[in-house]
């Protein structure tokens, strides 16, 4: 099984990717997908994008840039810069983001509303001479429609007209956001009818989730996890094991490595973010996920979330890791609209 870390804006930047690989990934993650780059009129990358794609910051992990655009010219110049200046030979197109501000511009999942336009954009990208001559691999991360699962057959038919590196399928429509049930029949259709390799993405948060998924789709060869690995970094050990159903976790080791992961990310973010508040705010985003495997430590996590100054934050984190214990849940239901 190939395992990928999903791109999550504000979370899976190079600081997180490198720390995760050092303390948990260790060869178990095949690809780390970067949070999206959004091409702009200047034909240049923003400073934060430059940091994230800089090869100096991506030496130890296989990072894949993701591009968010509905303009083939913007995708192509971005691909060209990524290849010429940074040596990337694989790029992912985002056709799945459900954010209202993104979809209103016909980007992300908004691209799925007009299959003729989607096909035109993909044709220009996949037939571009620079991309072809330099053998740049293109993958697509997609949802199955805007409002209805019935849209998927026509969308998949478009994708089947192009030779992709892989098709990453999140089997929800845009209006689902990250709620409502996964449309497993749509994923089954992708497995059976896609001419491109298919990767599954969606709602694998626990060992039970993964085992149940394998029982249903044992012929899956690629999976992408985002929220599941941010919430429970040690879940990677279960998923990458030979026998996930009977894998016995060392939760003490996982907790120790979670502290190392946290500390590494925090210290790195302090070096580039002005003021305590910005760095602490970014770290609290991690805690909004990680808290789900610490049901017995709500008081300590509340103290972390309330902290505003570096000293208070560090003290709260130290108290937490001195008393915390991981309790892997059988089910995770996120209360926030992630």
Q: 281-313 pLDDT, tens per residue?
A: 999 999 999 999 999 999 999 999 999 999 999
* CB atoms closer than 10 angstroms to residue 309: 11
pLDDT surpasses 50 at 337: no
Which pLDDT score is estimated for 304?
Answer: 97
pLDDT surpasses 70 at 14: yes
pLDDT surpasses 50 at 257: yes
Q: From CA 53, how far away is CA 86, in angstroms rounded? A: 7
Per residue in 231-251, pLDDT (tens digit) is 999 999 999 999 999 999 999
Characterize the bridge pairing of strands 137-142 and 167-169: parallel
Distance set, CA 163 to CA 127, 132, 195 (Å): 10, 11, 8
What is the residue whose two structure tokens read 């702009």? Answer: 40
Tokens of 88: 């990337």
Per residue in 77-90, pLDDT (tens digit) is 999 999 999 999 99
Q: From CA 120, how far away is CA 272, in angstroms rounded? A: 40
Specify whether the CB–CB gap between 180 and 172 falls below 8 A.
Answer: yes
The DSSP letter of residue 337 is -
Q: From CA 251, how far away is CA 296, in angstroms rounded? A: 15
* Mean pLDDT of the region 25-52: 91
User: Which stretch of DSSP H or E encloses residue 10?
Assistant: none
Which pLDDT score is estimated for 336?
Answer: 54
Mean residue pLDDT across the chain: 95
Find the DSSP H helices in 44-144: 47-53, 72-86, 100-103, 115-126, 129-133
Per residue in 118-158, pLDDT (tens digit) is 999 999 999 999 999 999 999 999 999 999 999 999 999 99
Q: How confident is the model at residue 40 (pLDDT cuts 50, 70, 90)?
A: confident
Which pLDDT score is estimated for 45?
Answer: 87
List the one residue out of 245, 152, 243, 257 whose CA is nearest residue 194. Answer: 152
């Amino acid at each position: 099984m190939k395992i990928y870390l999903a791109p999550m804006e504000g979370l899976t930047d190079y600081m997180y990717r490198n720390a995760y690989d050092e303390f948990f990934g260790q060869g178990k993650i095949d690809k780390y997908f970067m949070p999206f780059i959004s091409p702009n009129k200047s034909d240049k990358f923003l400073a934060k994008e430059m940091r994230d794609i800089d090869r100096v910051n991506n030496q130890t992990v296989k990072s894949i840039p993701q591009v968010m655009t509905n303009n083939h010219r913007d995708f192509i110049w971005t691909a060209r810069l990524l290849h010429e200046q940074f040596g990337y030979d694989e790029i992912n197109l985002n056709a799945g983001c459900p954010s209202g501000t993104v979809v209103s511009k016909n980007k992300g999942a908004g691209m799925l509303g007009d299959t003729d336009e989607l096909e035109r954009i993909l044709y220009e990208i996949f037939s571009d001479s620079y991309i072809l001559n330099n053998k740049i691999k293109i993958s697509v991360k997609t949802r199955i429609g805007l409002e209805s699962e019935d849209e998927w057959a026509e969308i998949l038919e478009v994708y089947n007209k192009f030779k992709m590196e892989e098709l990453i399928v999140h089997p929800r429509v845009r209006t689902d956001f990250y709620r409502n049930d996964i449309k497993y029949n749509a994923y089954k259709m992708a497995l059976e009818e896609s001419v491109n390799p298919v990767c599954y993405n969606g709602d694998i948060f626990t060992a039970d989730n993964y085992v149940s998924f394998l029982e249903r789709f044992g012929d899956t060869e690629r999976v992408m996890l985002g929220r599941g690995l941010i919430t429970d970094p040690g879940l990677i050990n279960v998923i990458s094991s030979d026998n996930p159903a009977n894998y016995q976790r060392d939760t003490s080791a996982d907790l120790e490595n979670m502290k190392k992961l946290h500390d590494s990310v925090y210290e790195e973010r302090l070096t580039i973010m002005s003021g305590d508040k910005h760095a602490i705010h970014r770290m609290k985003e991690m805690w909004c996920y990680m808290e789900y495997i610490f049901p017995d430590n709500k008081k300590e996590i509340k103290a972390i979330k309330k902290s505003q100054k570096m000293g208070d934050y560090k003290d709260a984190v130290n108290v937490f890791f001195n008393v915390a214990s991981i309790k892997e849940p059988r089910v995770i239901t996120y209360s926030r609209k992630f």
